[in-house]
Structures are given as C-alpha cells and as structure tokens.
Amino acid sequence: MTRAPYISIHVPSALNGQRPTTKDVIAAFVHEIGAGRLPGGSRLPPVRVLERQLGLSKNTVQIAYEELVARGLIVTRERDGAFVASRAAAHGLPLAVSEPPVPQLRPSPLLFASPPAEGMLRLSAVFIDPSLLPKERFSDCMRSVLRSPGLAPFYDAQGYLPLRQAIARRLELRGMDVRPENIVVTVGSQQALDIVCRALEVRRMATEDPVYPHARLLFESHALAVSGLPLDPFSPIDLDLWESRLRAHRPGLFYAITSFQNPTGYSYTTGEIQSVCELAARHQFALLEDDWGSDMLSDSEYRPSLRALGGENVLYVNSFTKKILPALRIGFIVARADQVPSLVAAKRLSTLASAPLMEAALEEFLSRGYYDTHLAELQRELDARYELCVASLRELMPAGVRWTTPGGGPTLWLDLPRAVDLTALRARMAERRVHIEDASFAFYGAPHLHGFRVSYAFLAPGDLRRALEMLSEEIRRS
C-alpha cells in the first residue's frame, strides 16, 4: 500500500541543541495544530523516526502521541500511522497562512472548440491507425537497449551520435547534403519548431495560409509577428500575390510545409520550390522547411525538398513520431554546422536533452532495418486507404464538393459549397459520433476555403467508409 508522506515538525528545544522532553513534543504539536499550520489529515512522523531525528529517548514520542490522541488533536490508524485530526475536530481553526495569489498565466492560445469525445470516429486525426504501427518491433529495440551495457550514463544535448549518423545517411539518400554535425535531435518536430523560435533573431515571419495551427500559435506565443501567404490547394501557388505580401510584410523567415501541406494536402512543385528560393534571395528572408509528410506514401521520397534544392542555409525539421509511434516523440532539426550551437543552447534551456533511451531505441530500430520494412508495409496500406477514400468521395459526394488529391501524407482537404453551414454540419456529424474539425484556426482571417481535413490514415477501412457515407448524407441534407 502507498503511504502518504509525513510532515516534519520542529521542536524548539531540539533546535537549541537540547534533548526535548515529552512535554516539548506535545507543546510543539499543540502550537502547530492550533495555529492551523498542520492541515487535518497530515500524516505525522512515525514514533521511531521522530525519536531518531530529535535524538529522544525511547517512548518520549509514544507518550506524547497518546496524550495528543487523548486531547482529540491527532488520530491513529492501525498499521497506517498517526494523523492530524480533521480541522473541525481540532478546534475548527482556519488555515493561518495567508493565501498567495493565483499565478498570472496568459490565456490559453489553443482555442480548439470541440475535441473528439471518446469513441467517436475521428475523420480529422493526423495520426496513423495504431494497428499499422510497429509496436512489437519497437519494444524489442527498447528491451535490447535497456539490456545493453553501453547505454550512456550521460546524454549528448545535440542528440545521440549514432542516431544523428543514421538520420544523416537517410537524408543523403533524399538528395540532402547533411552530416551528423548538422543535426539536432528534438522531442518531435513541434519542439524542433519551438527551439528554432527560441534561437531566432528575426521577429517577423510568414507561413502559408491556411497553416498547421500549432505552428502559427507557437510562433505567435514567441511574440513573432506572423503573416499568411494565401494557399489555394486547387490551383498553383500565386507567386505574384506572395511576392506582394512578402514585400509588404518583410518577414525574416518563411515557414513552409512543402509536402502534403497540413491542412490542405498541397505539395509544392519543383518549380514552386525554385521560385520560393528565388523570392527568399530577392527579399532576403530565410527558409524553414517542415517536411512532416515525407515517408508517408510510396512516392513521397522522390519529391525534392526545399532543403535539397535550396542548400544548407535552409533550416529543415522532420519527425518520426507519426510514422513509428506517437509515443516515441522524436524529431530533428537540420541546420548549418555554425548555427547548431545556438540551437543546442536553446534546446538545453528547453529540456536539457531529448530522452537518450528513446534515441538509442530509435537508432536500433533504424539500424536493424525495421524502419524500412515498416515503411514498405505502411505505405502499401496507406496507398490502399487513400484510394478507398478518394474512390468513396467520388462515389458519394454531391456536385459542388471537391477535394485535393495529395497522393501522400495522412490527410486531404475536402471543400464544400459555401451554402453548407460548417458549424451545423459539425454538430450533426457529432450527433452521429463522427468528429470533423473546425479548420478556421488554420486561417489568418476569414477562411478563403470552405472545408476541413479528412484523414484516411487513421480509421480502419470499414469505419472510414461509414464515416464518409454519413458525411455525404449530412452534406446533402444541408
């Protein structure tokens, strides 16, 4: 049985170096309880502990406790110890300490109105169906690392070197010139973004609009002035519009989700990536690429990244969390070697280090070849679910509904006629136990699209089909 920790008590004569008597012990408790400083229910030190602490002779405390029980100030419970009697019993005194004020916290920036209730079909999740994730193989790696005598007693704040070496090798295969010295391991790519913000000198940023809301809210929470460059996933990027916005806002950094953009599913063409690099050079802003969608579909590896085309000045973040296990929480930043010390310093301030145990287990997972085997299986399954999703939309959705066809990543964007009231639709879907999200948080002002993300990676095929059938029925009813 877990026991409550016991409170400590000062007996004044002991503080003077004298041996307290039973009377002193009683007086000390009467004083503290009477002053309301020992709340009812607090566990008292066991007799022998207090005797040892205070250097008392045997039975001094036992006799004092018996007297306190007799006075109704404490109670004893067999095999459990002695406790301050509830305040009502012990004189009914209010707590004598002054109540300190409530810490002043900023209001939560996370305004997500209606999280999915337990058991709802989550059409909005960016996660992959847990049944497709390699829990057993990862457990093997974890066990092997825990048994290994080589597990370092300390940590490398930049990240476990063998893991950085393995990541660098993978990125090189994707056309990026990256060495282990360029990599900082993080707690997911969310922390990667946070670390970049902590280290940033610039105060103005731009992102796509709409954008992954946790990124925008994070940037704003770092007091960065952020503006959005409109992205219409049904058309090529309007580079002239972007240039005029960039000229007006003058950001020092542009955050871009170049593959399977969250929330639209849009992927930049190679030409658009080149144009973004040209804009960056012309208007002198740096680039931060979030490559979250890589590894998530068969063809995803062959898309050139901004980091591959733009070179070493591009900051790059990515993560293993979605693709292996959400509980893994490992991501990374790629930066020029001369920028790494600032990023590592920012990481130290944030968390000192990412968990070396997880880093070592992930390295084991990569070096045993499990990640590649897993990706091959995962991509096959995600391809099938993607095709099911798109075929179902084609079959079920009424005229006027359109959707993006990202060909990768976990979600696509479903766009509805303006006549459909999204709030009412969400409510009716919730009644039918299907969660669709409020995507308005992804936009900077009034949304220029009229829809939400649909995930095909999270739900089992039967559930996905059922959820889409209900969605089509409710859209037709709107």
Ligand X SMILES: Cc1ncc(COP(=O)(O)O)c(C=O)c1O
Q: Which of 83, 254, 285, 292 binds ligand X (CB under 6 A)?
A: 292
d(CA 99, CA 76): 29
Nearer to ligand X, 42 or 455 (CB): 455
Smallest Cα–Cα separation from 256: which of 198, 306, 329, 303? Answer: 306
Tokens of 45: 């030190």
d(CA 171, CA 173): 5
- Contact, 38 vs 84, CB < 8 A? yes
Stretch that binds ligand X, among 128-136, 186-194, 333-341, 445-453 (CB under 6 A): 186-194
Tokens of 189: 């790519």
- Contact, 230 vs 241, CB < 8 A? yes
d(CA 325, CA 139): 11
Q: Which residue is nearest to ligand X (CB)?
A: 188
Q: Which helix (H) or strand (E) holds 230?
A: strand 225-230
Residues 62-101 vs ligand X: string with x where CB under 6 A?
----------------------------------------
Is omega for the bond preceding 210 within 30 degrees of 0, making it cis?
yes
Say which residue the tokens 């900077």 belong to: 444
Residues 309-328 vs ligand X: string with x where CB under 6 A?
----------x-x-------
Stretch that binds ligand X, among 36-44, 187-195, 355-363, 464-472 (CB under 6 A): 187-195
212 binds ligand X (CB under 6 A): yes
Nearer to ligand X, 182 or 262 (CB): 262
Residues 229-268 vs ligand X: string with x where CB under 6 A?
----------------------------x----x------
Stretch that binds ligand X, among 142-150, 183-191, 240-248, 266-274 (CB under 6 A): 183-191
Nearer to ligand X, 34 or 116 (CB): 116
Alpha carbon 88 to its chain's center:
45
Q: How many residues bind ligand X (CB under 6 A)?
A: 12
Nearer to ligand X, 310 or 331 (CB): 331
Stretch that binds ligand X, among 157-165, 182-190, 235-243, 304-312 (CB under 6 A): 182-190
Q: Which of 20, 213, 233, 331 binds ligand X (CB under 6 A)?
A: 331
Amino acid at 149: P
What would you measure as the largest C-alpha separation in the chain, in angstroms? Answer: 91
Tokens of 7: 């409170």
Nearer to ligand X, 291 or 363 (CB): 291
Residues 111-140 vs ligand X: string with x where CB under 6 A?
---------------x--------------
d(CA 167, CA 449): 37
Is the alpha carbon torsion for 391, 397, 402, 404 positive or negative?
negative
Which residues lie near ligand X (CB under 6 A)? 126, 188-190, 212, 257, 262, 290, 292, 319, 321, 331
